Structure 1
Amino acid sequence: MVSILNQNKINEATLLIEIERFIQSSLNSARQPRSFYQNFADLLLDFHQVYDPDFSYSCLIEPFCRLLYDYDLEYESPESLCKLLKQTPFRQWQSDFDLNWTDHLDEMRQHRFSEKQNAQKIDSRLNLLIDEYSALLVVRVDLSYVANISIEQVDDDLEILRRKINRSQYGDDVLLLIWALEQGESTGYHCHVALVFDERKRHGAWRIAKAVGDWWKEITDDQGKYFNCHDRRYLKKYEERDVVGIGVIYSNVPYQVNKMRSTLSYLARPDKAQYLRVKTSTKMRSFGMSQVKAKINRRNCYKR
């Protein structure tokens, strides 16, 4: 299946972060910032182009959602909208934005709590695998886009990819699949994917990561790109710092296990500011894990 991409010139992921920063800086300003109204008008007009009333937006984006219903932006220019916005004093805009600040703080606390829970779940499931298998093959690949894309398309593409992995030649051997969807200012929407295998059954982490990346490019009609975390030049930098936590991990080598835990827990690190500012619905997930495929008969567990 080939994705139909949103070729909008406006980068939705970057724009939402800019709006969030604009509101935060406005709230922190003791006086009206230079070009406040012009920046306000430009951001609001751009937001009008990407806004979807069926989507769920984060608390600091909500003021802009409300404004789309207060102003008819269909025929407004940046200059005319700037004049309309100036009819409301800067202090009043600060007060309006401040109505969402407490909700934003609560939203961030909930996000950190959820990410800590996710990190604990990763650790718990890794414990099961370490107990069951003497050696694991940890594969990681990072996915992103070369084109501007909507969150709806990202969600659809990732769902197709997860099904593709499950139905592939690797599907039955995946002991654990972890994925984390993020939103970065320079990287846009991107996803970290990790797969854990029994090292006895699967070899060649680079080859597996490349297969996942190629599927991603196929699904996105070559508008997606990927980074193979098993590239030798990339690994060399981390080997020199002794922080490699992917590839072959021996369960009886503590420092390798600790590096693996650190690498995979990064996918759920709560202090990263790359949370989603928009979701297709309140139920949309930005993080997921498969159930662990542990051995039933411990006596058959492969030992080196």
Structure 2
Amino acid sequence: MNLTTPIWNESSVCTAIEDFVYSVCFEQINDQQFKQSLSTLYEAFQHFYSAQLHYAESIQHFIQCKQWIDYFLNGQPASQILNFNTQQVQTLCYVLYQYRNDYWNEHARFIQQEQQNRNSLHQYLTKLITHYSELLFVRVDLGYLKKQQVYIGIENVQQHMSILRNRIANQDRCFMGLRGYAWALEQGVDKGYHCHLLLIYDPSKRMSDWYLADQVGKLWQSITGNLGWYFNCNTTDHKQQFKEFNRLGVGHIQCNVELEVSNALNAAMYLVNPEKYAQHLRAMLPRMRSFGTGQFEVHWRRSVVQTLRQCGF
């Protein structure tokens, strides 16, 4: 566990706390290491804690530990944590030990949710692929510049994502000709908060997948006030790496070609992977989602729905 981060941000603090709590529960850590790590994380978390957020189990146990620390300090500076006696350390360890069972339960819930998301995404994409003869798959990864992450909390992420999803729903500019989409929010050790975005276009209306991905990335930079970065998965070089092994799943996809469809589905499934527990969100706003797709509603289906409503059904 590296606690030498020169500048903390909400994401890095929460990730470091989770690592610390895990180490206390499942690894060996002596009293001095315990107090040193606790002192560092206690002070860092003070700047980012919000009672409005829903935290992962590990952070919730740390918050309980923090309440005991406040009691023990009784107004003294956080540096006094290093002088806590054996009984105080044991009390704090006992609070964190309660995370042992919660870790496995939370891990199981994550796997179950990701599997549900995976099934949902697969069904959604299968409907699109079955309905259309060809589609243009575009993948863009959206995140925040490392040096700017200190300014980014989950509330900022939610705000930026809401603007992005609204643009997608309205099919503004670079989203014109969109047939479908999916997105997944994650939290990485180095990347911090980031989003994997899949956009599926009508190739009769939009042709240059590299250009579209680039335009979406630039839009993200604009939405974030130039705090964001993006990675274009549809560049020629990036696609060539997968094409050499017959695994290319982005770009122009012919829906009657089994290999192209299989590759497209496999590439899309990266958005929802039960094995990526290390990238789960540690802090969320109430009722906040970390995954979503568009609605499969083609023109003739909309006409049927409208007719049924007009007839009183």
Over 3 Å counting, the alpha-carbon distance change for 1:31 and 1:150 in structure 2 is closer
Q: CA deviation at 1:135?
A: 0.7
Could you tell me the TM-score, scaled by structure 1's length? 0.88
Alignment partner of 1:36 is 2:39 = no
CA distance, structure 1, for counterparts of residue 11 and residue 163 of structure 2: 21
CA distance in 1, matches of 2:76, 2:230: 39
C-alpha contact (below 8 Å) 1:37/1:86 kept by paired residues: no
Asked if the contact 1:37–1:85 (Cα under 8 Å) also holds between the matched residues in 2, the reply is: no
Task: Look up the match of 1:137.
Answer: 136
Q: 1:290 aligns with which of 286, 291, 294?
A: 294
Once the two structures are superposed, the pairs formed by residues 175-186 of structure 1 within 5 Å of their partners are 175-186=179-190
Shift of 1:194: 0.6
Closer/same/farther in 2, CA of residues 183 and 30 from structure 1, 3 Å limit? closer
Asked whether 1:202 is paired with 2:217, we answer no
- 1:3 is aligned to none
Gaps of 5+ in 1: 1-7, 298-304
Cα distance change on mapping 1:76 and 1:140 into 2, 3 Å: farther
Distance 2:82 2:185 in 1: 35
Q: C-alpha distance in 1, partners of 2:45/2:179?
A: 42
Q: Which of these residues, 260, 280, 283, is aligned with residue 285 of structure 2?
A: 280
> Is 1:254 paired with 2:253?
no
TM-score, normalised to structure 2, is: 0.85
* Corresponding residue number in structure 2 for 1:97: 96
Matches of 2:26 and 2:69, distance apart in 1: 25
Greater helix content: 2
Cα distance in structure 1, aligned partners of 2:89 and 2:68: 16
The aligned counterpart of 1:25 is: 23
Change over 3 Å in CA distance of 1:183–1:86 after alignment to 2: farther
* Residue 97 of structure 1, CA deviation: 1.3
Residue aligning to 2:116 = 117
How far did residue 77 of structure 1 move?
4.3
Paired residues of 1:136 and 1:199 also in contact (CA < 8 A): yes
- Flag the 1:270–1:31 CA change in 2: closer, same or farther, 3 A: closer
- Matched to 1:53, the amino acid is A
How many residue pairs end up in the alignment?
288
Whole-Å separation in 1 of the counterparts to 2:289 and 2:74: 32
Query: Which residue pairs with 1:216 in the alignment?
Result: 220
Offset, 1:75: 6.6
Of all paired residues, the percent bearing the same amino acid is 32
**CA-CA distance at 1:112 after TM superposition:** 1.0
4+ runs of 1 displaced by more than 6 Å? Answer: none
Confirm or deny: 8 A CA contact 1:183 1:190 kept in the other structure: yes
Identify which of structures 1 and 2 has the higher relative contact order when contacts are C-alpha pairs closer than 8 Å and 6+ apart: 1
Alpha-carbon separation, structure 2, partners of 1:53 and 1:156: 18
Provide the aligned C-alpha RMSD in A: 2.2
Superposition map of 1:233-244 within 5 A: 233-244=237-248
Output one character per residue of 1:101-159: Cα deviation in whole Å (capped at 9) or x when no partner: 22232222111111111111111111111111111100110001011111110111011
> What does residue 164 of structure 1 align with?
167
